[in-house]
Chain A
């Protein structure tokens, strides 16, 4: 079985641009969560989606948005990129809330 997949693996953008990151969960998993991991720190929670509805949002500005599609895949969008948005963006899927999460390999975003 395929694990959680994310695309792209690496991305370079300039300040002010917009980016879309994609995540495909493990088959059968209905919950997708997004995390931002800045170099040298632990991941920070951004969003959780379950059955296409937002179930939780971390302390991130409105420039960050996400959605979940009928096939449970998900997109994370970041507008008006700042240098501080440079990070590893991790997606994790699970069967539901409060259960073991399975992480994707991440997308490394560099903002110049």
Chain B
């Protein structure tokens, strides 16, 4: 079993839909990242959080430390949001452990 699990693996949506991607982890962590990876490989860090909730534009990330669970929400989705979204955690040795990613496609 992977230490960081994401669901769903693949997600398709119509433009304007509200999207949720989930991440569960089984190790002790100091922080959790949500990353976006576009075709070609470049990774952009969207959020780093260790408690509560963060919001940036149409993106919202939440984390529940007790339940070892985080969610990434995208409101009013747009085709340019199409990418792979990766959850990664800093474990207690400060190593980053990644999920396998959620491939999102948003159609106009």
Contact = CB atoms under 8 A, between A and B. Distances in A.
Given A56-B93, A98-B30, A105 B98 contact: no
Given A42-B101, A98-B31, A98-B90, A33 B41 contact: no
Interface string B21-40: 00000000011010100001
A42 B42 contact: no
B41 A37 contact: yes
A106 B90 contact: no
Question: Main SS of chain B's interface residues?
Answer: strand
B86 interface: yes
23 contacts: A35-B98, A41-B100, A42-B4, A42-B86, A42-B88, A43-B86, A43-B88, A43-B98, A45-B96, A48-B95, A56-B94, A56-B95, A88-B41, A92-B43, A98-B90, A99-B48, A100-B33, A100-B45, A100-B48, A101-B96, A105-B42, A106-B41, A106-B42
Interface residues on A, range: 20 to 34
Given A42-B101, A98-B30, A100-B48, A90 B94 contact: no
Interface string B82-107: 00001010100111111111000000
A44 interface: yes
Interface in A3-56: 33, 35, 37, 40-45, 48, 55-56
Given A41-B100, A42-B86, A42-B100, A97 B42 contact: no
